[in-house]
Structure 1
Amino acid sequence: MYCFSEDGTEMTGELPPLPSPVDYCNPSVLSTIQSYDFDRFEQLIGYRFHQRAYLIQAFTHASYSYNTITDCYQRLEFLGDAVLDYVITRYLYEHPKRHSPGELTDLRSALVNNNIFAYIAVKYDYHKYFRCHSNELFLLIDKFVQTQKDKSTWCGFDECNLGDDDDENDEFFYYDFLTSSASNNKDTYSNTITSCTIDDEHLSNSHDEQNDESTTEADEWEETEVPKCLGDIFESVAGAIFLDSNKSFNTVWKIYYRMLKPFIEKFTTKVPKSPIRELLELEPETVKFEKPERLLDGRIRVTVEIIGKGRFKGVGRNYRIAKNAAAKCALKNLRRLD
């Protein structure tokens, strides 16, 4: 079978050479590129771009109309996601501990994770170079950044606790910015509340949950929403480095390994599991997840019963998060019982 390009010429099995990202013969293109100052960012990540047009594209949101010389970051994000998935998978496969296939799957899901990517993006100031026309998105990013800066309400990068209070992504709670409190914080912009209690009276119905002050007696965590765009630009910059370095996987890995190292060391020491999986392994015969309930504010509540040990509840913006929250809540209380 032969493949042909749009102009009718036969295509070979070889990848075509990379085209220039912009027309450097155009004076306005050069002046636009020179108007962007990426010196500090390049110092932070330890890589100097040969063609900064890739970097401009990597930070341009689809809403940002002022950038007329490149596309938005979505194509680079697509490429960077694949590149990071490959280099992380290869590193895990070649790791001296020779993890089992199941452990490799869990490790990759833990590390190729939008929440971790967003966290590292803020650590290395990616957000300061992000360009978009959306006040709502900028407010979301600002609140996320401020939450990280508040050491009283988040786990710091170097000393983060990823064991018990981790965030959900594809059924994993690997990293979150959860605050534990005895009452609801009405000022938070959180989209997910993880509530856990053994006492059914606290969450007997949605009306009582929203109006009865007794609900504040329950153990409760509030999850700060992680802006997806931060994880996206973390991937798009990886794609930009890949193209700028003439498709060098080694160059991308050298830059990104340093950023990912704390998480890699944490997870390869103790392979993480999803709360649901861990709960089912701990109580294989007694776990029963009940049908989800929709609360008055639109959130979903899931209850899991451990026969003979109690009922535990989780609340989230969708069923998957709520189910994971319920499982996590059950695990915490079962450990206390032990």
Structure 2
Amino acid sequence: MRSFAYHRASGVASAIQLGSTDETRFLAGGTNLVDLMKCNVERPATLVDVTALPGLDQVDVGPARIRIGSLARMSTVADHPDLKATAPAVSESLWRAASAQIRNMATMGGNLLQRTRCPYFRDESGNVSCNKRNPGSGCAALSGVNRNHAVLGGSEFCIATYPGDFATALVAFDGLIHVRGRDSRVVKANDFFRSPGSTPHIENDLTVGEFITAIELPVTQSLRASHYLKVRDRSSYEFAAASAAAGLELEKDGRTIKDARIALGGVGTKPWRVRVVEAELIGKPCTEDVIRRAANHGAEGAHPLPQNAFKVTLIPRVIARALIEAVRLA
């Protein structure tokens, strides 16, 4: 691990000033950042501790919107009774992530910013070829072990999977991310995360000196009738082979689909909104047959490799299962 300077920010203005250089990282829970520092993947010259910033750990669930402070702990948000009732997919995406110890430590803002678990990315000492860690060096996963890599949103430069669960629910239900730097701005969650293209080292919309202050979700009927399904190789402390955040709203007749929201995790280089499936569902009868036929469109545009081709088969199944569970709440 590289030696680093440590500062504790006393306020937002202090954090912005201290964090205004390329070699500075903001530190909150540290569950991903410190891990990567130990691997020498992250090598900051300075850490700015933002855990003491006031007012950024609140959770407010109102009739029209949910606002979650970026320093709220994952476990606090997952167990919030009003959030569990209003946004079940959000709560489920959090308590199905990581371990209890990590959820008690990790913050919501940090959760969104976690980096890929691609083994080639994390192997700084034994693997040179990683465009995400070392731009221009190549992508070892393309011809290497790629069972857990992305089939959607990849490029010739990178096929690393975005690992988070909460971001999948956030993208499905039109979440917003509040960002603070020298100026304040709000970014749509779907636009915040970036596909790799030719610059896989640029993973999100943050610029130097900016950090997340809050996350916001509009309260809709489809969010109230939502479910997060996570399929993985073991039942706990494992990243998704494929996951789906799904929600439905029915017309007053109780039979016709008025609104549908679906996003995928574990299969894309970013949380993957599946608008083609949503469009196939809206206006159709809410039956299992309709849901399964629409779900078959979920893997359109996929580019699998031999080791991860199973995800193309898995995608329609997780979409259908998540939607069928959401129907029970609609």
Q: TM-score range by the shorter chain?
A: under 0.3
More helix by share: 1
Q: State the TM-score, normalized to the length of structure 2.
A: 0.27
